[in-house]
Chains A and B, each alone.
Chain A
Amino acid sequence: MATSSDLTFVNRADLTARRPPPRLSPLAALLRDGGVKRLTGVIYFIALLLLWDPLLAALGIMLPVELDGILFTVAICAPLIAVTLLDGLRTQVRTGTPFYRDVAFLRNAGEIVLLFLIVQAGVILFGNLQTNLARSGLVIDFGVIGRTFGVEITEGPDPGIPLDVPLIGAVLAEQPLFRPDTVLRALITGFANTVSVSSLSLIATTLLGLFIGVGLLSRNWLVRTVANVYTEIFRNTPLLVQLFFLYGGVIKALPPRPREAVELIPGAMYVSGRGFYYPALVSGDNSSIITVALLIGVVLALVLWRWRVSVHEQTGQPANVWQYILSAIAGCGLVGLLIASAQGGFPYSLNLPEVGNFNFSGGASLSAEYLTLFLGLTLYTAAFIADIVRAGIQSVHKGQIEAARALGLNNGQTLNKVVLPQALRLAVPPLTNQYLNLVKNSSLGIAIGFTDLYNVGTIAYNQTGQSVAMFAIMAVIYLTVSLTISFVMNLFNGTLALKTR
C-alpha cells in the first residue's frame, strides 16, 4: 500500500512569494507602452504633414506632382516599415522562422499597406482640392468668420448689437471677430437658436414620449390603440414631410393678421400665421429679493437633504427627502415674496400681448418657424421615445412587481422604487440616441427657413463662397455638441448602472 505522500500531489511552490516583474530600464518601459508608440506616430505624421513642403523647398528639390505624392506616402510609412522589418528579422534570428511566415509581421505588413493606401488616397484628394481651388480662384480662408454677415437675423440674440457678456464682455466686444454683424456673431446666434429649440423640444418630447409610452401599455383598449396609431404614424413618415405639412399646411395656413389670430387663451395666448404670442414675465425692481430667498432655500434644502439621509441611514426612518427639499425651497420663496410685496408691491407682472393692426404689441413671441420646428421635433421624437419607454417598462419582470406587492409597497412605490430604476437602465442608451437625433434633426429647420446654426452656415457660404471652411466649422461644432451629449448621457448611464457587490 502506497503511502499517502505518493498519492497526493503536493504543490511545493510558495504561492505567497511574488515574482518580481522583469526589470526594464525606464526608457525601454516607455517604448513598450502602446500609447507612447501611437503618440509618437501621430506626432511624426503631423510633423511631416506640416514640414514636407518647406523641407523640399529648403532642399531646393522640385518634384513632379505624382512622384511627390508617392514619396510623401513612403516617408509617412517609412518608420513603420523599418520597425516591422526589424521586428520580423529579429524574430527570424531568434526562432528561425522566416519573417514572411511570422503572423505578427504579416499583420503589420497589412497595416502598412492600408496606411499607404489611405495616405495615398488623401494625397490624391488633397491634390485635386488644390487644383480645383486654384482653378476656381478660391482660397480656403478660416478668417471668413470675421467677415460681415449681410443678412438680418430676426430670431434669437441679435448679432447686430454689441456683445454684452458679464465679466469678459468688454474685452470680447473689442475683438474684431466679435464686432456686430460678423459671421462669427451670426454663427453664435444660430447656435443659440439651435440650442434653444433643441433643449425646449428635448424636455417636451421626453414628457410627451413618457405619456404616450405609458399609453401604449394601458389596459384601456382605446387609449392603447390611439397611442399605437400615433407612434406608427409619426415613426413611419419622414420628419421633413411632417415639418413641411406643419409649416405650409397648418401654421402658415392660419390667418397672418393679428385680428384673425386663433386665441388659445383669450387675451393672453394667440397663434397666427406669423407665430405664437404669449405673456412675458416681467420682473420688477425688487425681484432680486426673491432670487436671494430662493438661493437661501436651495442651501437650506441641501443641508436638510444631508440631514435626512443621515437620519435614514442611522435609524431606518423614511427619509422623505423630496418633501423636505420642496418645502424648504417653496417656504423660502414664499417668505421672499411676502417681504418683496411688503416693500414695493408684487415683484412680478405679466406683459400680455395686445392685438394691434399689423402686429402684436407687448408680450413675448416665437416665430412661425420656431414653433413649427419645436412642434415637429417634439411630435416626431416622442413617437420613438414612447416605444423606448414601453420596451423599458415591459423589460421589468412581472415577478419583480409581484414581489414588490408582496412586500407591501403601494402602486407609487412599486413604480418609483422597483419598475422605473430597472426600466431606466435599459432605456437610457437608446434614449441618448434619440436625444442626439433630435439635436441633429434640428438642422432640418433650414427647410422651413429657421435660422439655426446650419442655416447661418449655409448663408455665410452663399455669401462668401467659402464652402470648405464653413463646412469644416459646422462639422466641428456639431461633432462637439454630439460628443458632449453622449458624454453627459454616459455619465448619467454610469450612475444608473447595476451596482454589484
Chain B
Amino acid sequence: MAQIAHDPELFYVASPQAPASRRPPAAQIGIAGWMRENLFSSPGNSALTIITALVIGWALVTTLSWALRDAEWTVITANLRLLMVGQYEPTQIWRVNIVALVTLFLCGGSVVLAAGTGRGVLIALAAAVFALLIIPFSAAGLPPPPIRVLVTPSNAANPLLFTGDAGQVVTIAVEALDDNAQVGDVQNYVGFLENTAGLENSRTLWNDLRAQVAAGTLDLSQYALTLDIAVIDAAGTVLATARSTPDDHDATATVTLPASGWYAVTITRVDGAAAGNAFVRLDGVTTFTTDEASTSARLARYGEPPLLACPDPAADCLRFAAERDLRFEGSRSLGAYLTTQLVPFVQAIMLPILAGIAAVVAGGALGAWARRTPKVQSPVRRGLLIAWVVMLFASWFVLRGIEGSSVLPPVSTSVWGGLLLTLILTVVAILASFPLGVLLALGRTSSLPILSAVCTAFIEVIRGVPFITILFFAKLIVPFFISASADVDQVIRMMIGLSIFTAAYLAEVVRGGLQIVPKGQIEASKALGLNAFQQTTQIVLPQALRAVIPAIMNQFVALFKDTSLVAVVGLFELLGIIDFIVNGQQQFRGLAREAYLFVGIIYFVISYAMSAASQWVERTGVGSARR
C-alpha cells in the first residue's frame, strides 16, 4: 500500500479556538456608519443633506435669536390668567382649578390602568419638575438687566417706583446723545420701560431717532440737556443725586440702599428746553412681576407704594418698574432673557403645573396599584368610569354655578374664555356629536327611504358649506327659529353648531365603518334571532366603530382645532382672547407674534397628544377588529 503523503497544507484543521470576531468596517457602524447610510449615501444625497442643513440651520438660528433676544414674552406672563380662563371671575377660579385637578387625576388613573406606565413618561414628568425648579434657582444670581427711562421734551419721566432690599447697590446714569453719537452706540441701547414718559410707544420714537442719527439729520444741538437725577426713599429723602450738563453728560450716582422698602428715581429737566430726548439708565433695579400673587406678596413685604410728589398730582403719575412694561430694542443678552422673560414665566406657571403633575401622579399611582392587584382591578375600573361620568356632569354645574347658591354663585358663560372655553367647547361637542353622528350614519344607510333621504340631505348640506357659515348661522339665524321665550346663550349655540358640524363628518366616518362589516355577520345575527335593534347595537356597531377609531379620533382633533373659529363670531376662547390682549391693552400693542406663537404651541401640544393617543390605539390593537 502506497503511503499517502500527508501534506498538512491539504487538510483543513479547525483550530480549537474560534477566530477572533472582527468588527465591521468603522465606516459602516456607529455614528459614522449611520451618517453614511442616512445622510451621505450618494453625492446627490450629500448635496441634499448639506442644502437642507443650511436652510434649517438658518431658520433655527433666526427663530431662536428672535425668541431669545427680541421677543417680548412678558405679554404671555402678564396675561396668563386671561389666556387660561378668560375673564372668569378671579375670585371663583378655584372652581376651574378643582375641575382641572380632578380631570388630571382621572386621566392619570385611566391611562395608567389601560396602558401602564412607560418609563419615558416618568422621565418626562421628572424632567419637567426639575426644569421648573432649577430655572428660577439658576437665574437667581444673575444681575437684573439695566432699565432705561425715556425723557421726552414735553415730559420728564415721572417718579419711577421700585422695591429694594438693604445692601442693594443701585446706579443711575444719564445716557445722552452727544456730538459723537454713532449708529453703533445707539443700537446698543436695549431695555427700556414703556409708558414712563406719558409716551405710548417709545420704540417708535427710538427707531425714528436711530434713523435720524444714521442719516445724519439729527440736530444734536437740541440734545444738550441739563438733567437732575436722584434716588429718593419712601419718605422723599434724597439718597443720591447727580446732574448731567451739556458739558458733562456722564452724570452717575451710586447708592447702597439702607433698608428694605420702596424707593424712587426722579428726573428733573433743568434746562427748560422744548426739544431733545435722553435715556436715564438704572442698574441693579429688579423689575417686578404684576400677577396677583406677586403683588400681594410685595404689599406684605414692602407695604403700600408711597405717594411721592408728582409734577401733576391729578395725573396717574406713579410709575412702577414693572416687568411687563420692559421692552427691548436691539439685542438682548441671554441673562436679560432669563431674568426678565423666562424666570417670571416659569414662576407664574410653576405652582399650577406642579399641582397638575401631582394630580396626574396620584391618579397614576392609583392606576398602577389597581393594575398590579387583580382583586381591585375591576372595582377601580368601574369606579373611574363612574367618576368620569359624574365629573363631566358635575363640572358643568361647578363651572356654571347654581342659581341662588352662596358657595357656587352663577358665573355667566359670557365671561368664560381662554383655554377653559376651548376645552369646554371641545368636550361638549365630542360628547354630543358622537351619538348624533352614529345615528345619522345609521339613518343614512337605513333602507327606509324618507329617513335615509333626510339624513343624507342633512349630512351633505352641512359638509358642503364652510364651518364658519354654520357658526354664523348658529349666531344670527338660529335665534329667529327659537321661540322668543327661550333665549339660548351664545356659548351654547356655538356648542350646538360645533356638534352638528362634527356629527355630519363623523357620520361619514362611521358609514365607512358600517360598510366594512361583512354581510355574513348580519345574516348570522338574523339567523340567531336577534331583532334589528340588537343586531345594530351588539353586532354591527361594535365592529364598525372599532374599525374606524383612528378616523374618529382624527375628526376629534379637527374639532379641537375648529373651536378656534368661534373667535371669528366673537367668543373669547384661546384664540379670540389674543385680540383682547394685544389690541385691547395699550402696552401689549404689536406683540401679536409672541401671543399667536404661544397659543399655537398650546394647540399643537394638545392636538399632537390626541393624534398620538389615536396612533397608540391603532398600534396596540384595541381599536382593530378582532381577528
Contact = CB atoms under 8 A, between A and B. Distances in A.
Nearest to B608: A236
A352 interface: no
Contacts of B481: 125, 128-129, 132
A478 interface: yes
8 contacts: A107-B448, A111-B450, A220-B52, A236-B557, A236-B561, A444-B466, A458-B472, A478-B466
A375 B565 CA distance: 19
A221 B46 CA distance: 11
Given A128-B482, A479-B464, A220 B49 contact: yes
Contacts of A242: 600
Given A237-B603, A249-B592, A249-B593, A129 B480 contact: yes
7 pairs of A and B residues whose beta carbons are closest in the complex: A249-B593, A221-B38, A248-B592, A236-B607, A443-B466, A238-B564, A238-B561
A406 to B, nearest CB: 23
Q: Is the interface of B mostly helix, strand, loop or mixed?
A: helix
B552 to A, nearest CB: 16
Given A240-B564, A447-B568, A232 B596 contact: no
Contacts of B166: none
B472 A479 contact: no
Contact of B597 (A135, A249, A447): A249
Contact of B603 (A241, A458, A482): A241
Interface string A400-417: 000000000000000000
A220 B45 contact: yes
B398 interface: no
Interface in A123-143: 125, 128-129, 131-133, 135
Interface string A184-198: 000000000000000
Interface of B: 38-39, 41, 45, 48-49, 52-53, 56, 447-451, 454, 461, 463-469, 472-473, 476-477, 479-484, 557, 561-562, 564-565, 567-568, 575, 578, 582, 592-593, 596-597, 599-600, 603-604, 607-608, 611
Nearest to B482: A128
A332 B466 CA distance: 45
A281 interface: no
B596 A131 contact: no
A83 B604 CA distance: 57
A489 interface: no
B562 to A, nearest CB: 7
**Most chain A beta-carbon neighbours within 10 Å: one of B480, B481, B557, B568:** B480
Given A131-B484, A236-B611, A454-B466, A467 B476 contact: yes
Given A107-B448, A241-B564, A482-B465, 19 more contacts: A38-B449, A115-B450, A128-B481, A128-B482, A236-B604, A237-B603, A238-B565, A240-B564, A241-B600, A440-B465, A443-B469, A446-B468, A454-B466, A454-B469, A467-B476, A467-B477, A474-B465, A482-B463, A483-B464
A237 B469 contact: no
Contacts of B45: 219-220
A241 B451 contact: no
A244 B578 contact: yes
A220 B449 contact: no
Nearest to A118: B454
Contacts of A249: 592-593, 596-597
A133 B479 CA distance: 10
B383 to A, nearest CB: 33
A135 B479 CA distance: 12
A91 B562 CA distance: 53
A129 B447 CA distance: 33
Contact of A238 (B56, B477, B603): B603
**Most chain B beta-carbon neighbours within 10 Å: one of A38, A443, A454:** A443
B465 A220 contact: no
A240 B454 CA distance: 32
A228 to B, nearest CB: 12
B564 A446 contact: no
Given A128-B483, A226-B52, A249-B597, A219 B38 contact: yes
Nearest to A440: B466
B496 to A, nearest CB: 14
Given A244-B578, A244-B592, A474-B469, A220 B464 contact: no
Contacts of A475: 461, 465, 469
B467 A440 contact: yes
A110 B565 CA distance: 39
A457 B70 CA distance: 41
Nearest to B49: A222
Interface of A: 38, 107, 110-111, 114-115, 118, 125, 128-129, 131-133, 135, 218-223, 226, 232-233, 235-242, 244-245, 248-250, 253, 440-441, 443-444, 446-447, 454, 458, 461, 467-468, 471, 474-475, 478-479, 482-483
Given A226-B52, A245-B597, A444 B39 contact: no
A474 to B, nearest CB: 6
Contacts of B48: 218, 220, 222-223
B482 to A, nearest CB: 6
Nearest to B34: A221
Contact of B480 (A115, A133, A221, A232): A133
Contacts of A458: 472
A245 B477 CA distance: 31
A240 B604 contact: no
Nearest to A133: B480
A244 B596 contact: yes
A471 B478 CA distance: 12
Contacts of B567: 240, 447
Nearest to A242: B600
A329 B312 CA distance: 80
B39 A220 contact: yes
A239 B603 CA distance: 11
A227 to B, nearest CB: 10
A458 B570 CA distance: 14
Contacts of A482: 463-465
A237 B592 contact: no
B450 A132 contact: no
A441 B611 CA distance: 22
Nearest to B486: A128
A111 B479 CA distance: 30
Contacts of B467: 440
Contacts of B582: 248
B429 to A, nearest CB: 14
Contacts of B480: 128-129, 132-133, 467-468
A486 to B, nearest CB: 9
Contacts of B463: 482
Contacts of B482: 128
Contacts of B592: 244-245, 248-249
A238 B562 contact: yes
A447 B468 CA distance: 10
A115 B568 CA distance: 36
A454 B469 CA distance: 8
B197 to A, nearest CB: 25
Contacts of B53: 222
A245 B481 CA distance: 37
A131 B485 CA distance: 12
A18 B234 CA distance: 113
B607 A237 contact: yes
A475 B565 CA distance: 18
B52 A132 contact: no
Contact of B596 (A118, A218, A245, A474): A245
A235 B465 CA distance: 21
A242 B600 CA distance: 8
A479 B465 contact: yes
B596 A241 contact: yes
**Most chain A beta-carbon neighbours within 10 Å: one of B56, B465, B603:** B465
A248 B557 CA distance: 25
Contacts of B557: 236
Contacts of B607: 235-237
